[in-house]
Structure 1
Amino acid sequence: MPNISWSVKNQARMHRRNGDAPYDSVTNAMRYWPETATAVAVRLGDDGRIEVNAPFGLADLFQLKLRPGPSFCGAKKSVFEERVRQKKWLQRYPLLEYEPDMP
């Protein structure tokens, strides 16, 4: 779909870019994602059931809360804030509740 701006990241190498230790699983990698609500993976299991992997839970996603993951609260907070500005999420999705600090 050429009309959609896609961004694909190889999680096996993202630790290098982010200055983290190598990730040992998908769940471990998602714990380093910039936003809590985007750290969600869904797949169809071998038994045909849907499997959800969400290390920060699903509450922020369902409650439309935009907040940084734990690794983007300290020194990397400006990276999170720039990401929010660059992606224009608050303009595109006016129902989002922007919470720049973790509870």
Structure 2
Amino acid sequence: MISRLPLDEQLESLRTVLSRNDVLTDVLARTASLGLPGWYLTAGCLFQTVWNVVTGRPPAGGIKDYDVFYFDDGDLSWEAEDAVIRAGREVFADLPAEVEIRNEARVHLWYEDKFGVPCPPYPSTEAAIDSFAATTCCLGVRLEAGGRWRVYAPHGLSNLFNLVLRPNPVLAPRSVYEAKSVRWQGQWPELTVLPWPHGGSSMERP
């Protein structure tokens, strides 16, 4: 069982599993060419690829988009972020998937207007990943010099490989966690969804 391997072997297994999704590896390689500061490929495209492979489904099955986070607090204008987004559209134009690029340094500027509650500024891309609704999903990958994979997995990989969805009660609200759990378990019924802990935070973050 992968989750019982030493961490370095788990990381190698993660790379092997993710590499079975050809779209994902293509997005990684093309994003690296953009030279974005502090970038990671993150969110559903990663953990859903793992769930697909572990349960014997097509690696890219059911994955709607590929999220790229980067962090540039030197220019917080929409124009700067939009320039990156437009450059990305050209780089990813022929891929059979939607790639969404976002500057996580700007999230606090628009978050309240969209969701109705304030969001403190993120100090890094990693901090943005930390805000995901489930700790199982807190994962980011990027390509560095020489083709080396850099993996950010603050809660490890055991729950991911074991198909266990664990809530993130400090950084995400119960309602979002439970809504995502229902949706994901509908697509991957093998998931074990752990309940929201009693007394957990109700902070409104998606």
User: What's the RMSD between the two structures over aligned residues?
Assistant: 2.6
Aligned residue for 1:42, secondary structure, equals: strand
Pick from 97, 100, 103: which aligns with 2:195? 100
Alignment of 1:1-103 (within 5 A): 5-6=64-65, 8=100, 10=102, 11-15=104-108, 16-17=110-111, 19-69=118-168, 70-72=170-172, 76-85=173-182, 88-101=183-196
Aligned mates of 1:96, 1:52 — CA distance in 2: 23
Aligned mates of 1:89, 1:45 — CA distance in 2: 31
Q: CA deviation at 1:4?
A: 6.0
Q: CA deviation at 1:9?
A: 6.5
CA contact (8 A) 1:31 1:56 kept: no
Identical pairs, percent:
34
User: Runs of at least 4 residues of structure 1 off by over 6 A?
Assistant: none
Q: Which has the higher contact order (CA 8 A, sep 6+)?
A: 1
Q: CA deviation at 1:42?
A: 0.9
Give the TM-score of the pair, scaled to structure 2: 0.40
Give the TM-score of the pair, scaled to structure 1: 0.73
Larger Rg: 2
Structure 2 stretches of 5 or more lacking a match?
Answer: 1-61, 68-99, 112-116, 198-206
CA contact (8 A) 2:136 2:157 kept: yes
Aligned mates of 2:125, 2:132 — CA distance in 1: 11
Q: CA deviation at 1:79?
A: 1.9
Structure 1 stretches of 5 or more lacking a match?
Answer: none
Q: Looking at secondary structure, tell me which structure has more helix per residue.
A: 2
